[in-house]
Structure 1
Amino acid sequence: MDGSGPHQFDVEDLLALVRNYNPRCNAALIREAWAYGARMHEGQLRYSGEPYFTHPVAVAAILTEMRLDDATIVTALLHDVIEDTRSTWEEVSRLFGREIADLVDGVTKLTNLQLSGAQSKQAENFRKLFMAMSRDLRVILVKLADRLHNMRTIRSMRSEKQVQKARETMDIFAPLAGRMGMQWMREELEDLAFKVINPEARNSIIRRFLTLQKATGDVIPTITADLRAVLERDGIEADVFGRAKKPFSIWRKMQEKQLSFSRLSDIYGFRIITRSEADCYKTLGIIHQRWRMVPGRFKDYISQPKANGYRSIHTTVSGRDGTRIEVQIRTRQMHEVAEAGVAAHWAYRDGVPTQNPFAVDPGTWVEQLNDRLGEEDHDAFLENVKLEMYSDQVFCFTPKGDVIQLPKGATPIDFAYAIHTRIGNSSVGAKVDGIRVPLWTRLKNGQSVEVITAAGQRPQAAWLDIVETGRAKAAIRRSLREEDRSRFIRLGHELARVAFEHVGRKLTDKALRTAARTLAMPDTDELLARIGSAEISAQEVLGALYPELAHAPAEISADRAVAGLEADQSFTRAPCCAPLPGERIVGITYRGKGVVIHAIDCPVMADFEDQPDRWVDLRWRVGRHPPSYGVRLLLTIRHDAGVLGRICTLIGSQGANISDLEFVDRKPDFYKLRVEVELRDHEHLHALMTALEAESDVAQVARIRDPSLKP
């Protein structure tokens, strides 16, 4: 695909790849798209110095591996013409039809989305990503193939850009490929990103693996032969394939289970492709008779398929010399869906769309995914998207035998909300396999769950920290808002009345309506609810109506900034997460240190899950805080005369004080520096980062949170 060597990849080579699975393809359309794309990109070069058009061609070739339709292949050839050349949607539509023009436009819009960056912007762009998926999932397939080729050729980029792209790939594109059932693409994207983010760890895994092979020999051919032999003896026709797992897959397992490489098992995976579903179960029985099954490592995704259509039986057995091997058993049709995932819906064979009974309808799949992400709040939406994309599946049963599919780590509360919001809201307890358990119990595969409900029960705020699913979080937040609203309205009315009387004014319905309109709120109830919940102050309402009477709120001293402490308790901010006023916090008691406050999402909090007696429920006091809270930022700025001075001036103009500055990396064209700034609150941080991101001399800005800096 790179045009090197004795034979340059041309349109006839691409057509040969397409004809392998679609002999009746529209060759004229693909030739025309090739010629148009080559003409539009003429003179453009990639970072590596190759002609730019080699990239769209490589993307198209990747999509032929998934046996995709002509429209998707043509979209791949044209996917950058609207963004990077003089071409327009109107011209693409006139030459290639509206369907292809819309697909190309969709890929262009996705390319322009910044999926990493400021939290609120990231969440909004995730919404746009899911909207694009709901219009036509082929847009995402082209985008994933585009990212895969960019990751394969990432070495020609600047090192900072490599790291940024690799992190975005690891956080977003690899999990998305996995969620869509394209496991091979997920694994390759993860491994390519791993190579950039942590090359030392990857090389270490490869070195250890080679050492293991020297000591034990290549066990894959031996185990493959053993499997084939036992299947043939019992008359099972099947194909057997073996492979070593990817370095990142091994590394992740080492991290999750906190094991050294020498103690890690099942680093080899084997697939058995049978002729029928009945043969899958016969094969399972034969393997379990021949080798010892490892308890807790059996999953039957044939009887309980994943939402993306994935079907397979997974088991782990102890093979030769105690070597653990993972075996996946499935039919040919199941294997095609396991390789292509949701993309199997568009796959062709012999010129006609494949009639694979296991391929899921993409529209239904996206609709189900969007249903689980129905949350208005930016941060919650982003949290839910990431939960949904990273989640592994757990299958549990209702007392009637119905199956409920949940993400790994789900609780009986998630189970209750998955059945119905009303059941979730009224949950008071649960029985798992007939035994009463707390609502925070983590469910496991195959358990039977019975939810116990009571009239008058309402969701509790603590549930938000227990549940895993976006659906449960959204329903709990909605219920809490409704329950609190009437109380906040009454409290808000009283606070407003006192504030108005304090300046010699009377609180009237007309005054409230005028204030609501001035502050762009739909009605007076919303205004009063926000006053009661401390989202806005009564002083702000006064300021909106009578600017001359409003007083600036008194500044809260740093030693009184946190509410919820005992009279004799002092506090310090945790250096690992450096929480700011406006962020949700929790306190942890330390002997001799008082209370250390952490952000609620600080990774260090996991260390205290089994020490609930040390947790203290805290919150920041509402009001004006002094700019005295240190936060560390990592800036990548252009290396040029006067740039650093301008950046320091910009930080000062935002009311932030620089307390420390350290150069981390110096390159001929860029500097990377660590800056500690003193800020008032989370809003102040957001305003500063927005101003820095808008500065043309700043390539990247990120908040530093370092779990290694434990208190």
Structure 2
Amino acid sequence: MTSLNPQEAKLTPHGGHRRRLLAPKDRAGRRAAVRAALAPLLQARRPAFTDEDVRLLEWAYDVAERMHRGQLRKSGAPYITHPLAVAMILAGMGLDTTTLVAALLHDTVEDTPYTLGELRADFGEEVAVLVDGVTKLDGERWGDRREAETFRKIVLAAAADLRVLVIKLADRLHNLRTLGFQPPHKRARYATASLELLVPFAERLGIHVLKREMDDLAFAHRDPDAHAATAAAMARALAGAEQVFGPATERLRRSLAGHGLSARVSVRPRHLYAVHQDFGERVVGLRPCEAARVLVVVDGDEQDCYIALGAVHAALRPCPGRVRDYIALPKFNMYQALHTRVIGPEGDPLEVIIQSRAMHPVAEYGIVAHIRDAGTATADAVSGRRDLVWLSRLLAWQSDALSADFLDGLRTDLAGDSMPVFTPRGEIVLLPASATALDFAYALGSETGNHSIGALINGRLAPLSAELRSGYVVEILTDPEGCPSADWLQIAATAPARVHIQRWLAHRQAEEVSAQGRRRLVQALADRQVDLLAAEAHGESLAIARDLGYAEVDQMYAALASGSLSLEELVTRFAGA
């Protein structure tokens, strides 16, 4: 479908396409209209776009506009305004042309007759993979499982190409921006789902420029009264920010210069949802020092950041025990910085964040910054990164989880911050704040988890239920005879641990049911002078099972125990074998 290529394509009403040259006048008018619509997008990345990039984007927009023609948003705006806005968000983050093309086309396969096969033929495999990754599953086919299975599909697609998640996040951000056109009950539900699933993905990928806005928009729609109260409190607090931060930042600038450092010092307001999470109803009395932080961006390397920390402490009295070193030990989402709390000239406690100029883009854009630097957006560009181990863990357990369990597990796995816990060899395992020693055991592997019997935490014996803290050194004690129990489900806090425990318990239950059915058959065959053990050894049991439609004899025995298979019928078959 090459409507802006030398041979123009004209869509039929059924979504197919046939090659036909447009009249020169029509072709020129169409091209002018497309370029006018794309002008803001092209301007956003103008220095980076080649002529070929421009042609490809114009072509993608032309196809998307034609396919969505006649469709309207809830606001009454033409539907094409949505994919164009998504592409604009991604262009603002500096993403590549392929991603922008996929963004323009991301709803065509889901909402128009345009097929994935047509898209692949027209735009290539790379664009098709991205569009397919963000396309929702068919609601009629999947029913109540649609949401869970769609998220599972996105996770699997992101394992091959992380841009799938980035496009999905930009898509959700624009939908949140326009959520006011939906009825109130839908707004609240959509906002809650965003805060539980999509916002945590943005956090995990370190894309804070998206996370902050998604946070605040979802907050506004889920709890408009609390949002309004927080916004008003923030406005009052920031009105007095200059009195609190002005003298402090001036001291910092002088101290940094005195230490031979070139740095940019600024005051950054916190976003509303973060303030609400910290203060709740107490937000009415919010102080300026609680509404903003001081950001120091150093022109230098990591070592210069530590020198800057000394300069900050030389200028303003530090609070003991309030230094956090995320340079030596980055967060799970690649974030690096030094955090410290100091006392300002007026006695106010101030939060100061120190980053190098190289760290700052990663702190804002996360994985997107690494994708841009690597020149490729596939997961291979960041494979093996410790800070993306959460994605590997998610892939390790998702295939074994049922739809409902998958969504619940996903919410748990993504919720909150992660803490580093160490093995005795110094290897880092990232776990959520509520994790136990049992969660740590399963993070090391399912076999370690299944056979764990206890732990040594910082050298002291502890039960598997012991809750861990950041920086703990944990050694898991195992026993070949050890095995999970149902009580472990009350101990495990992480989805991987719970899924592995549930799978083991289900397997054990299946074995017990099979054994029960086998005992019934042994007893019944004994009356007929038939030796079941001999029948099993000669393959007769498996042959009978296969003849009855069971892949394994254990399944046949379990069916006998459950009553779905007649004992008389089975005995007759064995007696006649």
Q: Quote how far apart the aligned CAs of 1:202 are.
A: 0.8
Report if the CA contact (8 A) 2:196-2:415 is conserved: no
Contact 2:252 2:311 in 1 (8 A): no
| More strand per residue | 1
State which of 296, 315, 335 in structure 1 corresponds to 2:340: 315
Report the equivalent of 2:211. Answer: 186
Tell me the TM-score normalized by structure 1.
0.64
The corresponding residue for 2:375 is 353
RMSD: 4.0
Q: Residue 32 of structure 1 corresponds to which residue in structure 2?
A: 59
2: CA distance between counterparts of 1:242 and 1:144? Answer: 27
Partner residue, 2:307: 282
Return the alpha-carbon distance in structure 1 between the equivalents of residues 152 and 263 of structure 2.
Answer: 43
Aligned-partner Cα distance in 2 for 1:113–1:226: 60
Report the equivalent of 1:272.
296
User: What is the 5 A alignment of 1:462-481?
Assistant: 462-481=487-506
In percent, how many aligned pairs have the same letter? 34
Distance 1:290 1:165, change over 3 A: same
Separation (CA, whole Å) in 2 of partners of 1:496 and 1:218: 86
1:165 to partner: Cα distance: 2.2
Asked whether the equivalents of residues 496 and 507 of structure 1 are also in contact (C-alpha less than 8 Å), the reply is no
2:264 maps to what in 1? Answer: 239
Show structure 2 runs of 5+ residues with no match. Answer: 1-34, 571-577
Work out whether residues 394 and 443 of structure 1, in 8 Å CA contact, stay in contact via their aligned partners in 2: no
Aligned pairs for 1:6-85 within 5 A: 10-21=37-48, 26-85=53-112
Once structures 1 and 2 are overlaid, which stretch shifts more, 439-448 or 261-270? 261-270
Matches within 5 A, 1:605-620: none
Map Cα deviations across residues 100-139 of structure 1 (whole Å, 9 max, x no partner). 23433433x237679x994x55433332121222233222
Cα-to-partner distance string for 1:327-362 (whole Å, 9 max, x where unaligned): 3322222222222222234327xxx9399xx98349
CA distance in 1 between partners of 2:411 and 2:206 (Å): 16
Query: Match for residue 110 of structure 1?
Result: 136
CA distance in structure 1 between the partners assigned to 2:297 and 2:418 by the alignment: 23
Q: Check 1:149–1:484 CA distance in 2 against 1; reply closer, same or farther (3 A cut).
A: closer
How far has the Cα of 1:197 moved from its partner? 1.0
3-state SS of paired residue (1:110): coil
The residue type paired with residue 132 of structure 1 is: A
Deviation sequence 1:478-512 (CA, Å, 0-9, x none): 444555554443334456889x89xxxx9988999
Q: Is the 8 A contact 1:373 1:381 kept in 2?
A: yes
Partner of residue 704, structure 1: none
Distance 1:513 1:437, change over 3 A: closer
TM-score, with length taken from structure 2? 0.77
| CA separation of 1:62 and 1:428: change in aligned 2, threshold 3 A | same
3-state secondary structure, aligned to 1:445: coil
Partner SS state of residue 76, structure 2? coil
The one-letter code sitting in structure 1 at the alignment partner of 2:230 is: I
Q: In 2 relative to 1, CA 483–55 (structure 1 residues): closer, same or farther, beyond 3 Å?
A: closer
The answer for the alignment partner of 1:396 in structure 2 is: 421
Aligned: 1:443 with 2:468: yes
Counterpart position of 1:92: 119
Instruction: Return the letter of the residue paired with 1:470.
Output: A
The number of aligned residues is: 520
Q: Structure 1: which 5+ residue stretches go unaligned?
A: 1-7, 547-711
Cα–Cα, structure 1 residues 295 and 438, in superposed 2: closer, same or farther, change >3 Å? farther
- What is aligned with 2:9? none
The question of 1:457 aligning with 2:486 is answered no
Q: Does 1:160 align with 2:185?
A: yes
Aligned AA for 1:83?
A: E
Which amino acid in the other structure matches residue 308 of structure 2? T
Equivalent runs, 1:290-305 vs 2, <5 Å: 290-294=315-319, 297-305=322-330
Cα offsets for 1:235-261 (capped at 9, x unmatched): 222223322222211222236xx9665
Q: 1:676 — aligned with what? A: none
Distance 1:343 1:110, change over 3 A: farther
8 Å Cα contact 1:341-1:359 kept in structure 2: no
Structure 2 counterparts to residues 299-448 of structure 1, below 5 A: 299-347=324-372, 353=375, 360-361=382-383, 365=388, 366-373=391-398, 375-448=400-473
2:171 to 126, 131, 146: 146
Measure how far apart 1:21 and its partner are: 4.8
Kept in 2, the 8 Å contact 1:19–1:25? The answer is: no
Task: Specify the SS of the correspondent of 1:139.
Answer: helix
Amino acid at match of 2:72: L
Q: Distance in 2 between matches of 1:301 and 1:228?
A: 23
Other structure's SS at 2:261 match: coil
The answer to whether the 8 A contact 1:515-1:544 is kept is no
User: For 1:284 and 1:531, how far apart are their aligned partners in 2?
Assistant: 71
Q: What amino acid sits opposite 1:360 in the alignment?
A: V
Cα shift at 1:196 = 0.8
Q: Which has the higher contact order (CA 8 A, sep 6+)?
A: 2
Letter of the structure 1 residue corresponding to residue 552 of structure 2: D
Question: 1:394: Cα distance to partner?
Answer: 0.9
* Residue equivalent to 2:16: none
Equivalent position amino acid for 1:281 in 2: Y
Q: Distance in 1 between matches of 2:493 and 2:506?
A: 20
Change (3 A) 1:211 1:91: same
Check the 8 A contact 1:302/1:312 in 2, yes or no: yes
- Partner SS, residue 260 of structure 2: coil
